[in-house]
Amino acid sequence: MLFGLLLPAYATAQARRCEYGVAPCEAYANADAVFVGEVKRIIPVTTKIWQTDDDYDQTAYVTVQQIYKGSKKQQIVLRQLGRRHTQKFISGSRYLFYANYDRQLRIWEVRPCGRTRMADYVQDDLLYLNSLPASSKRTRVSGEIVRYDTDADNPQGTTEPLAGIRLRVTGEERDFEAVTNANGVYEFHDVPPGSYTVRPRIPNGLVFLWAIHYGDDIYARARSLKIELKEGGCSGVTILLTTDKTLNKDSGPKIGRVFTADSNVSR
């Protein structure tokens, strides 16, 4: 499945059926500690990127580099128990961790299906975290626009954040416009709660491929750009674009409707 190929870049070592989790503000609120750190050592010493139902325990020793919430320790030991969808980590890699402390077992852990990801793929989160505490007091719609390409020599594909993409969030009463930054991230603040559609202006030569939503039923919503924003909350969608060549190649996906720069997505 295409989504299983794209998931490593955004969720790294989470399981194939793991859903995309929550928005940055929800992940921050639900975590006991939020920090950027480097995994210095893991036990066992190898990592199985794709997990199965028959999972395994991992202990990860992390050096903390930047603290956003919670524990002030410079080192944290994460006990990732062999539960389904429990994230595992790669030694020598940097992550943004959303961690919780299990008071019964007295261990730190990263819970399944959250927003903990490699530090190279957390620009949306960092925009929110680096603006605290002000960002926690405002509604927020955010996400990324990313180009995905694959070919016979690179079947897993590559991703590239797209800067300078104009997009509009359209609601029943108001519209909001923004441009993606250098990291391909867009964000809107102080948006009233309600139902909205995210409409990117797609560059010539690219087409809409996939939408990655927060929360449940992400597969069912993979072709939808509609979002719901609750009172005082945050929402959004990450949008994947590709070329006609990738979309139509014999071994590749043919997913739903193709949106171009002249379609209603970019209106």
pLDDT tens, 169-187?
999 888 999 999 999 999 9
pLDDT category at 55 given cuts 50, 70, 90 is confident
When the candidates are 3.40.1190.20, 2.60.40.10, 3.40.50.300, 3.40.980.10, the CATH number that belongs to 139-266 is 2.60.40.10
Average pLDDT over residues 15-34: 79
Q: 171 or 255: whose pLDDT is higher?
A: 171
**What is the secondary structure of the chain as a DSSP string?**
-HHHHHHHHHHTT--TT------HHHHHHH-SEEEEEEEEEEESSS--SS--SS---EEEEEEEEEEEES---SEEEEEE-S-TT-----TT-EEEEEEEEETTTTEEEPPTTSS-EEGGG-HHHHHHHTTTTGGGGS-EEEEEEEEEEEETTEEEEEEEE--S-EEEEEESS-EEEEE--TTSEEEEESPPSEEEEEEE-PPTT-EEEEEEESSS-TTTTTT--EEEE-TT-EEEEEEEEE-HHHHHSTTS---SPPP-TTSGGG-
Mean pLDDT of the chain: 82
Q: What is residue 193's predicted lDDT score, i.e. its pLDDT? A: 93
Q: What is the pTM of this model?
A: 0.81
Is the pLDDT at 65 greater than 60, yes or no?
A: yes
The domain defined by 7-121 folds into OB fold (Dihydrolipoamide Acetyltransferase, E2P) (2.40.50)
